[in-house]
Structure 1
Amino acid sequence: MGTPSEESNLLLYVDPQPRRPSKGRRPHRSAAATQRTVAVLLSIAALIFILATYAWLPHTLNTEETFAGADAESHASNGGVDPSRVFQNILSAKRLRHNLEYYASGTHVAGANMSQTEYTSNYFALQGLDTEIVEYYPWLNRPVGQRVALFDQRTNAVMYEAGLGEDSIPGDHATEDPNNPPAFHSHSAHGNVTGQLVYANYGTAEDIDALTKVGVSLQDKIVLVRHGRTHSSTKLLAAELAGARGMLVYSDPADDGYARGRVYPEGPWRPESSVQRDSVLRSSIYPGDPLTPGYASTRDAQRLLPAEATNLNRIPSLPLSYRDAQPLLNALQGHGTNAADIDRDWVGGLTSRGVRYWTGPSTLLVNLANSVEYKIAPIQNVIGRIRGRETPEEIVIIGNHRDSWSAGASDSSSGSAVLLELARAFGELQKLGWRPRRTIVLASWDAGEYGYVGSTEWVEENIDWLRSDAIAYVNVGTAVAGKVFEAAASPAMKGLLYSVAAQVRQPHSNGTVYEAWLRYSMDQEGDSPASDRTRGHMPKPRVHLPSLASDSVAFIAHAGISVVDLGFTGSTGAHHSSFDSLKRMLGYIDPDMQLHRAAAELWGLLALRLADDPILGHCTRCYAKDLKHYIGQLEKQVAQCWVNTTTPMKFRRLRAAQRQLLSSARIIEHDIKHLRSVYGDDCQMAGRRRHARCLALRASINDRISRLEQHFLDPAGIPHQRWYKHVLFGPEVPVRPPGTQLFPMLAEPLESCNVPRLRQLEKSVADILLEAAWFLREV
């Protein structure tokens, strides 16, 4: 698709065709008078045409308006202008770079950069958005002092002390910023502990079980684990449950360092001094402010005591670079079990530096000191609104967290840069007279790195309004971290995702994002779209389960709103470190900003479709079909309880509920087909008497498909995780496989093979699904 100049402007012009004179008799007039009359009439007709066109613009933008320099692809098939094409042509790589340069110009930790809050708010307002700054007061910690040291307990001689710092790269301002935080975990416990060291691979439940099988206990130990596979908070909770005194999390070069390629500044991968900061808030219990679970942390909110907060950890932890981790691994050599004897997967990339991975425990002791200061601190969300013209009470929300651990060129500055450009593009469309059918809300969250605090508090404060009026939430935590597009979403959003991805060109290729996404998906191991071939279906790109490790979590898991998370990933070798810089981004990831532009197109087109389509594109059949697949996965899990039998347990109630949901989805599809054939999507074929009937039917369809997600909520919440309400998707916890969990209500009895309890909870979940199925039938 051709693109106009970055400085092109949107122009409005009308070129009405002259009308042919009437063949009827008219009084005789002079030629001059006739010409004057015709000229006047033509002028009046032109004026009326302009006014009518402008009045019609908010409805469809189907006018003779165009974008200077835009090619024929900007035009709809009927000769008018497609608003999505106009939107795509507005987007500017130059402006995206300017935005990125601003956000990545310095460190902006949660609540610590009011200037960026004001800049974002002012930018939204300049684009014509109704803008406000919403402040909350959560319980946050800041680093005071840290220490990791190896010493001989017999002599008290210190054998090694970790530097806990990152090297500066000459010419890269982000790595030289004095405001970069030290090695630090947000919501980590204050403490000074000492114990023997044990290496536990990635620190998953399976890894800890493997240690137990070879006779290695974590009781009273300091545990050293690798980043990856599961969230740091899940690793820490697993270590605490196993009796550990503290935990160290390091970035192994096999995962994102020199074993993957050239390290920064010679390449994009993680250098040896890089520290991957993280949150260790127990978000699997509840995200957001620890002291106000389930309600907003406003200035005067009633708060728990910190000791009462169940999502705070009780043992200290720190992140390490692989340079600092190497002496610790060397101290384990020859002690315990050779990691390779457990599994080759336990051996990392430091073997090239002479490290032999052993489990320990070590004979030397490790001292882990983590001094932090906790206090109630203000954070600021920036919320901008574009009021809808037809159903303003319905809202589509797009959001990105603004805070970063350092400059955060990828996470989160790339997303913030794109969010500003979307605000500008929507503002330009408004200048043309466009307004969305539904209200669009743009949200710049604060304290996302601390456990999705800003978004969670906002959802908790507005829960009733959101459940009543929200259509969907589209999140972009990191817009660009590599060249591979990936998405996680509610099944209802799959069709829209595929449609939009097919409209956007994959940067530096002749194909679309959809085509590149499909190729990548089919190359991946596991449950890939290639398996669709065996079922006789055309393969589709893989959409991951909805992310509960992002700012989407409160929307789907607590409020029951369909979500999408999207972005370009791949070269994540600087994640949460000072090396996630503008220089690295422009040098190795996106030099010409075309990936940012593609992310803006994808994000913006999704928002436009959700806000402007007369009939929402939520796919109820996709939900029903995916549910069948989820039940199949569940039956494979439960089959492990009956290894020696040929008749394992079947979830017949769940399957019956799934069939009802599929049947109801077909009824919705029939209603949509009927509306389109009889009235048209926008009720344009309905006469005056039938117009109200058409609008009522369309409103019923949209209400049913957009609120389906809410009918998968259990008001009582998931057992032991009451903040989480969704019965299909739950958070990861240490005793389960990493990632979003299917059927979280069934997880506990499934682990213990408690059949009576499993049957009881299956009925509860099936009843909720049946109610959702019947809701789809209500007209």
Structure 2
Amino acid sequence: MDNKILSATASQQDSERALLADYKADTADSAPFGHSELPPATTQFEARFSKRAIAGVVSAAVLLFIVAASFWMPTPECMHGMGGFQQPGKVDIPGDGRIDPTRVFLNIPSTDQLRENLLYYSSGAHVAGINSTQAAYTRDYFEQQGIESKIVEYFPWLNYPVDQRVTLFNETTQGIVFEAGLKEDVVPGDPLSEDPNNLPAFHGYSTDGNVTGQLVYANYGRLEDFKALKDAGISVVDKIVLVRYGYIFRGVKVQIAELNGAKGVLIYSDPADDGYSKGKVYPTGPWRPESSIQRGSVMRLQVYPGDPLTPGYAATKDAPRIDPKDAKNLNHIPSLPLSYRDAEPLLCALQGHGRNASEVGSAWIGGLTSKGVEYWTGPSKLRVNLLNKVGYKTRAIQNVIGRIKGSEDSEHTVIVGNHRDAWCAGASDPSSGSAALLELARALGELMKLGWRPRRTIILASWDAEEYGLVGSTEWVEDNIDWVRTNAVAYINVDSAVGGGDFKTEASPAFEQLLYDVTKQVPYPHSNGSVYDAWLQQSLASAELANQAADDYTDMADVADALKSPTPLIRPLGSGSDYTAFMAHAGVSSLSMGFSGRSGAYHSNYDSPKRLTTFIDPDMQLHQAMVRVWGLVAIKLADDPVIRLSPVNYAKTLRRYIRQLEAHVAAQLNNTSSGKQAQNGAVAAASKVHHLRAAQRQLLSSARAIEREKAHLRAVYGEDCQMGSRRRHTSCIKLRSSINDRAFGLERHFTEPEGIPSREWFKHVLVAPGRWEGYGAQVFPALAEAAEDGDWKRFQLYSKRTVETLYEAAWFLREV
């Protein structure tokens, strides 16, 4: 590594330590490639990374040897630890001198390098607004790989914890019965569990407040949970509500509680969901121990993400700000997270009061029954005091933007991104992804040393302040919205690269075939199969479990598809990571992926490299597989002559989306009908989506016409358009450009300027986060919400608009 990267600047490091301490004080008062830079990085890992310069030279020499030797050395039978997969060996160099980048790329990602990257990023707490050292380090690392890079700053409104307290007391005697520890235990042998800079129990964008009231338990805090309480005669008005994490985004839990009249919310992690009910807890296993606290944002993410005070435009230094009281994506009652150790006495205080939770709902009982806890609704006789003192400040955040300029079609750009900030050390979320991003940058740099350049530009983005509410990526997209809509081919997101062994992905349907093809090329660690093979088996197993559960919260249409389909089911994109602004606001086809499965340390002090490398990925081969998948998708999108986005896959997937909408409409009709009317709900629902089905068929017909054009291009010209005749070359380029423009431009045609009613920031008419879910996707959101509200006049209006949008998209695909 260059000395520039490793030079220690004591003043900057001292400044950041001061900022970290300052979060407990009271509140005081562009072009896509960047408009500001920070000083060179500082790091506490000088000794570890001082050898990077030598290592970089050696790795380049080794890579050149591999490329040269591949012409005369035999290809090895298999890759060590990868079963029967052949090592990508021979490098194909066509007549134009271009290497085959995908073949070379697969050999580059290094598990040792990934481990070093992970240890750097997860060396301690790096909260948004207090991690500029890592931003500068990331920029300089990109530049060391030959990638032009800059830091782009924004200035959002962020909060930091000052004082938190939860007490259970007797109102008559004022005697304190219990006071929550609000602190995680130190784990011997894991120094990051005792980092003095770790945040206390805290919610990003939580409201400052000191409230007191009786306690009521509301299960997962969903709409149906509060309705069940109401039906059971239990009121939450002026109460402190205790809910458990799961099913919906924490910010929506607080919002629903507020709408039902609650004074405050406590959200705890129940052992049934990710604690000892799942297996051994940390440090003897990967699951959540009793003192573990899940931090996180409670922004109303489904209203709009990003800086609350600059809705729809970038939070630049001099941007106008709205009054916080007018920010529609903020809640207005205080909230705090709890461990299940701190939640246990609160649940015990409810015992015998109100209704037994099993009488309210079959899924209301958690895992603390093994400790003798009975789950009751309350309200309690004892009172709870919730103190949440926070300091709000306008604080600079840093996005790192690296660019590899395309060789032929440089204005069109493939963007890959990961967020860098974390509530604690964040080894899995997001540092596993940050480690992968650096290794992806190094691998692309090695390809460039061999003379390779992508046809289209590639941007590598390291986002800041994602944890608060996708702030860094949202502000960047809003700042560059016209450029993004014009030039962005696709956005490829990796948040937590490795949290388990299950490959999971949500994506625009346009990515489907590309994802299948790429994952078939990448070996799955410690198996004889590919990532695709493991993904398929994991998908089928999950679908079978869901089919057996068949509860009220299972999407049985998706389950049926997964069980009968020979391919893994790709979920639609809702929200919860940095793809949101690209897909939902700008209409850029987006993909988010990673290995998951063991969430027992999520947003806690125990999401450390020690836990990750002990229980999840000891040899870093899952990290390596993630880099390979991520890189191949990016390279193919940026370098293949014909862009690998499929309008046909999109049109076919819309049939499933329409079927899901039809089932949703039928359910709403049945909820408001009885007897014979209820039996006719399905018939009525089918009639309401009839025109959508006709538009989908037209879209599929137009998409298939593009496939015929692709076949014509290959047969008559060849995708590379390499021919002697200038006239034929010009005709080929024109046809190929037209096909590509329509392939990546299709997603734009599914957005409308007016957006979704009451949350207009979301422009995509086909998918958006559910308004009462926050993360999970809702297909045809405007129509689904009109049906939920029983507003069939609005449903008809937006049905007409959506049908027109689909026909316009179909006509766009026919333009040549």
**TM norm. shorter chain > 0.5:** yes
* Structure with max Cα Rg: 1
2:496 partner SS: coil
The structure-2 alpha-carbon separation of the partners of 1:13 and 1:632, relative to structure 1 and needing over 3 Å to count, comes to: closer
Deviation, 1:72, is: 6.4
The CA distance in 1 between the partners of 2:774 and 2:558, in whole Å, is 21
Matched, 1:658 2:685: no
Q: Look up the equivalent residue of 2:746 and give its one-letter code.
A: L
Which residues of 2 match residues 165-314 of structure 1 at below 5 A?
165-314=183-332
CA distance in 2, matches of 1:221, 1:670: 63
Residues of 2 paired with 1:530 and 1:339: CA distance? Answer: 29
Q: What are the Cα deviations for residues 242-287 of structure 1, in whole angstroms up to 9, with x where unaligned? A: 1111000000000100010000000000000000001001111110
Q: Which amino acid aligns with 1:764?
A: R
Equivalent of 2:89, from 74, 94, 97?
Answer: 74
Matching residue within 681, 684, 702 for 2:740: 702
Contact 1:283 1:311 in 2 (8 A): yes
Instruction: Decide whether the 8 Å contact of 2:67 with 2:91 is kept in 1.
Output: no
Question: 2:174 matched to 1:136?
Answer: no
Change beyond 3 A, Cα 1:680–1:686: farther
Among 112, 118, 121, the residue aligned to 1:103: 121
- TM-score between both structures, scaled by the size of structure 1: 0.90
CA distance in 2, matches of 1:418, 1:533: 29
Q: Percent identity?
A: 57
Q: State the one-letter code of the partner of 2:63.
A: L
Q: How does the TM-score come out when normalised to structure 2?
A: 0.86
1:648 aligned to 2:684? Answer: yes
SS of equivalent to 1:763: helix
Matched, 1:756 2:793: yes
Q: How many residues align?
A: 726
Would the aligned equivalents of 1:12 and 1:66 in 2 still touch at CA under 8 Å? no
Aligned to 1:57: none
Q: Which amino acid aligns with 2:692?
A: L
| CA separation of 1:155 and 1:703: change in aligned 2, threshold 3 A | same
Whether 1:11 and 2:38 are equivalent positions in the alignment is no
Aligned residues of 1:521 and 1:528 also touching (Cα < 8 A)? no
- Alignment check: 8 A CA contact 1:205 1:737 kept: no
Give CA-to-partner distance per residue, 1:446-476, whole Å, 9 cap, x none.
0010000000000000100010000000001
Q: Is the 8 A contact 1:203 1:225 kept in 2?
A: yes
Query: Could you tell me how far apart the structure 2 residues matched to 1:672 and 1:731 are?
Result: 34
User: What is the one-letter code of the residue matched to 1:681?
Assistant: E
| Deviation, structure 1 residue 344 | 3.0
- 1:672 maps to 710
Unaligned runs of 5+ in 2: 1-57, 80-85, 547-554, 670-676
The SS at the match of 2:413 is strand
1:452 aligns with 2:470: yes
Matched with 1:712 is 750
Structure 1's 530 and 740: CA in aligned 2 closer, same or farther, altered over 3 A?
closer
Alpha-carbon displacement from aligned partner over 1:484-518 (angstroms, at most 9, x marks no partner):
11100000111111111101111111100101100
User: Is the CA contact (8 Å cut-off) linking 2:561 and 2:569 kept in structure 1?
Assistant: no
1:159–1:444 distance in 2 versus 1, CA, 3 Å: same
Secondary structure of 1:11 counterpart: helix
What is the CA deviation profile of residues 517-554 of structure 1, one whole-angstrom value per residue up to 9, with x for unaligned ones? 0011111225587745997xx52112111141111100
Aligned to 2:538: 520
Q: How does 1:117-516 map to 2 (within 5 A)?
A: 117-516=135-534
Aligned 1:735-754 pairs, distance under 5 A = 739-754=776-791
Q: Structure 1 CA distance, aligned partners of 2:101 and 2:760?
A: 43
Change in Cα spacing, 1:109 to 1:287, as seen in structure 2 (3 Å) is same
Give the match's secondary structure for 1:609. helix
Q: Secondary structure at the match of 1:254?
A: helix
| Among 763, 767, 770, the residue aligned to 1:725 | 763
Secondary structure of the corresponding residue to residue 212 of structure 1: helix
SS at match of 1:436: coil
Is the Cα–Cα contact under 8 Å of residues 522 and 529 in structure 1 kept in the other structure?
Answer: no
Q: Distance in 2 between matches of 1:333 and 1:115?
A: 50
**What is the one-letter code of the residue matched to 1:761?**
Y
Superposed displacement of residue 292, structure 1: 0.3
TM-align CA RMSD: 2.1
Please say which of residues 164-173 and 7-16 is displaced more in the overlay: 7-16
* Distance in 2 between residues matched to 1:14 and 1:149, nearest whole Å: 65
Q: Which amino acid aligns with 2:726?
A: R
1:705-724 alpha-carbon deviations (Å, 9 max, x no partner): 10100100011111000111
1:681-738 CA-to-partner distances (Å, cap 9, x unmatched) read 111357322101100110000000101001000111110001110001112222x697
Quick one: distance in 2 between partners of 1:311 and 1:296? 16
Instruction: Give the match's secondary structure for 1:454.
Output: helix
Structure 2 match to 1:23: none
Q: Which amino acid aligns with 2:121?
A: Y
Partner of residue 773, structure 1: 810
Change in CA separation of 1:529 and 1:83 when aligned onto 2, cut-off 3 Å: farther
Contact 1:196 1:365 in 2 (8 A): yes
CA positional deviation for 1:343: 2.6
2:584 to 557, 572, 582: 557
1: distance between equivalents of 2:174 and 2:425?
40
**Amino acid in structure 2 at the alignment position of 1:217:** S
Q: Provide, for residues 78-108 of structure 1, a one-character-per-residue CA deviation record: whole Å limited to 9, x for no partner.
A: 8996321211101100000000011111110
Cα shift readout 1:151-175 (whole Å, capped 9, x = no counterpart): 1111111111001000011121110
Structure 2 SS opposite 1:345: coil
Deviation per CA, 1:165-216, whole angstroms, max 9, x where unpaired? 0001112111010000000000000000011111111101111111111111
Question: Displacement, 1:307?
Answer: 1.1
Q: Which runs of 5+ in 1 are unaligned?
A: 17-62
Asked whether the 8 Å contact 2:265–2:335 carries over to 1, the reply is yes
Whether the 8 Å contact between 1:749 and 1:755 is mirrored in structure 2 is yes
Instruction: Report SS of the residue matched to 1:334.
Output: coil
* Residues 87, 528 of structure 1: alpha-carbon distance in 2 compared, 3 angstrom cutoff: farther
CA distance in 1 between partners of 2:498 and 2:397 (Å): 25
Q: 1:220 to 1:74 in 2, by over 3 A?
A: same
Q: Is the 8 A contact 1:521 1:529 kept in 2?
A: no
Match of 1:32 in 2: none
Deviations 1:611-645 (A, max 9, x none): 10100111111111111111111111222315142
Tell me the SS of whatever aligns to 2:393: strand
Structure 2 residue identity aligned to 1:594: Q
Which amino acid is the alignment partner of residue 88 of structure 2?
E
- Where do residues 537-616 of structure 1 align in structure 2 (5 Å cutoff)? 539-616=566-643
Q: Per the alignment, do residues 78 and 143 of structure 1 end up closer, same or farther by CA in structure 2, a change over 3 Å counting?
A: closer
Compared with structure 1, are the counterparts of its residues 722 and 266 closer, same or farther at alpha carbon in structure 2 (3 Å cutoff)?
A: same
